[in-house]
Structure 1
Amino acid sequence: MHPKNIHNSPYDFEALVKASPALLPYVHKNKYANLTIDFSVNEAVIALNNALLVLHYRVDNWKIPANYLCPPIPGRADYIHYISDLLDVDNCKGNIVGLDIGVGANCIYPILGAQIYDWTMVGADIDIAAVEAALINVSLTSALAQKIEIRQQNNNAHIFKGIIKEGEYYNFTMCNPPFHSSKEEAEKGTLRKLNNLSGTKKLSLNFGGQANELWCNGGESLFIKRMIKDSVGFKDQVGWFTTLVSNKEHLSKIYKLLQKLNAQHTTVLMGQGNKQSRFLAWNFRP
């Protein structure tokens, strides 16, 4: 993980339970006598997220509707820290403004950006229920209400158009794109994840995920290509466009598109335990 990520150390479950007693029923000792939770249980993961937000990020009453994506906060914080590094290279000063495409009901990236770095954040989503839930999560903490704005994308043919307004400037955009190409593919991925965590063979979308969160026609690769093409029209209003890329096999074709559009780009590697992730960043500077 990023050196600045406070989640580099194991979870302090005693401190977490003290901060949020609702986590206590899900905490138990594993075979090594360490405190933990069952990460295949949705309610336990949500309770853990709540506790992390209370203890480390001064956010109370965070909630998500049933079956919406429940993100692992340590990995989400990593993306935020590495974007900060990218901005430092550009020597960005003053008020930093970021845009999260596909903010989701959890609103986690704007929350972390606002609470870790005091950034001003805009979160956008096409799902009205997600937008409403994100608005509630923002409104319940006064500090967030002053730093975060939630907007709905009304046209699924657009990504930035209709969200970035005339005269606005964003130091960066970020995105966790849908990475499956169909509901069936998403369900298979969820089953594999649950089986790895608990050995269960029973399908349960415990990690949540609506259609726009987990899958889209063409999957991750096509979505990112659409985003890149759409970004050309906003090249003077954004310092860095960024997106997570789950499948590294997609990168070669994405690079070809960026080259065709005369965009400069960099790929930032992030590691969480044995898992390696990455995000792609690009712009159209001369």
Structure 2
Amino acid sequence: MHPKNIHNQSYDFPSLIYTHPILKPHVFMNTFGNMTIDFSDSGAVLELNRAILKHDYGLTDWSIPKNFLCPPIPGRADYIHHLADILKQNGVNPNIKGLDIGVGANCIYPILGVQIYGWQMVGADINETAIASANKNVEINPHLSQAIQIRHQSNHANIFEGIIKPGEYFDFVMCNPPFHSSKEEASKGTLRKLKNLKVSKDLELNFGGQANELWCNGGEALFLKRMVKQSISFSKQVGVFTSLVSKKEHVAKLKKQLDKIKAQHTIVDMSQGHKKSRLITWTF
């Protein structure tokens, strides 16, 4: 994890429970004598997130509708910290404004961007239920309403058009794209996750996310190809474009596409425990 990530250490469950007592019934001692939760239990993961956001990030409260993606906050915070490093290297001024493509019902990246670094954030999504939930998470924490705007993307073919307004400038764009190409592929991914958690019972995608959060036609590769192509039209309105790339095999093709449009690009390796990911950035 990034050295500035406060989640580098194990969860402080006693403190989290003190801040958010609803978490307590979900916490137990594992065979190694450590406090933990059942990470295959969507209810437990939700309450853990609520506790973290209250205790570590000063939120009044936070929630998501049933069956929407419940994000692992340590990994999301890592993206924010790496972004801050990139902006510092680029010499960006302190009044930073960012755009999160696919903000989701959880609104987690804008929330962390505001709470950790004091950024101004815009979150965009195609799902109206997600938009309503993201707005609710902003409104329930009044200080966020001055720093976060949520915008609905009504045209599914567009990523930036209709979201970035004429004359508007963003210091960065961030994105955690859908990484599966179909519901079936996403389901297989969830089964692998449950197997790794040593869960034998049958579970649906109850903590895995909605269609637009987990899969799209062509999966991550096609989404990022579209994102790169459409970024050309907004090269003067965005300082640096960034996105997570979950599948290593997609990196070479993305680099080739970015070279073709003469965009400068970098790859930042990221890791949380055994999970490896990477962040791609490009500028014009």
Q: Same fold (TM over 0.5)?
A: yes
Q: Does 1:15 align with 2:47?
A: no
Give the C-alpha shift of residue 32 in structure 1. Answer: 1.1
| Counterparts of 1:203 and 1:44, CA distance in 2 | 15
Query: Does 1:151 pair with 2:151?
Result: yes
Q: Which residue of structure 2 aligns with residue 39 of structure 1?
A: 39
Q: State the partner residue of 1:248.
A: 248
RMSD, aligned CA:
0.8
Secondary structure at the residue paired with 1:244? strand
Write the distance in 2 (CA, Å) between the matches of 1:130 and 1:65.
8
Asked whether the 8 Å contact 1:104–1:134 carries over to 2, the reply is yes
- The equivalent residue for 1:220 is 220
After TM superposition, where is structure 1 displaced by more than 3 Å over at least 4 residues in a row?
none
Once the two structures are superposed, the pairs formed by residues 102-121 of structure 1 within 5 Å of their partners are: 102-121=102-121
Specify the alignment match of 2:273 in structure 1: 273
| Alignment map for 1:1-286 (pairs within 5 Å) | 1-284=1-284
Amino acid at match of 1:250: H
Instruction: State the SS of the aligned residue for 1:57.
Output: coil
Deviation at 1:207, TM superposition (A): 2.1
Q: CA deviation at 1:33?
A: 1.2
Corresponding letter in the other structure for 1:152: H
Q: Could you say what secondary structure the match of 2:197 adopts? A: helix
- State the one-letter code of the partner of 1:194: L
8 Å Cα contact 2:68-2:209 kept in structure 1? yes
- Report the alpha carbon displacement of residue 90 of structure 1 after superposing the two structures with TM: 1.1
Shift in Å, 1:201: 4.9
Counterparts of 1:110 and 1:94 in 2: how far apart (Å)? Answer: 16
| Structure 2: gaps of 5 or more residues | none
User: Tell me, what secondary structure is at the counterpart of 2:188?
Assistant: helix
What's the CA shift for 1:144? 0.7
Contact 2:66–2:206 (8 Å) recurs in 1: no
Give the 3-state SS of the residue equivalent to 1:203 in structure 2.
coil
Unaligned runs of 5+ in 1: none
Q: What amino acid sits opposite 2:139 in the alignment? A: S
Q: Which amino acid aligns with 2:204?
A: S
CA distance in 2, matches of 1:94, 1:135: 25
- Percent identity reads 62
Amino acid at match of 1:83: L
Contact 1:50 1:60 in 2 (8 A): no
Displacement of 1:211:
1.0
Q: Could you state the TM-score of these two structures normalised by the residue count of structure 1?
A: 0.98
More displaced, 201-210 or 68-77? 201-210
Kindly provide the amino acid, as one letter, of the partner of residue 96 in structure 2: I
Residues 53-102 of structure 1: per-residue CA shift (max 9 Å, x gap): 00010112201000000000000000000000000001112310000000
Conserved? CA contact 1:40–1:206, under 8 Å: no
State whether residues 40 and 199 of structure 2, in contact with CA within 8 Å, keep that contact through their aligned partners in structure 1. no
Question: What does the per-residue CA deviation read over 1:224-251, in whole Å, with 9 as the maximum and x for residues that have no partner?
Answer: 0000000000000101000000001011
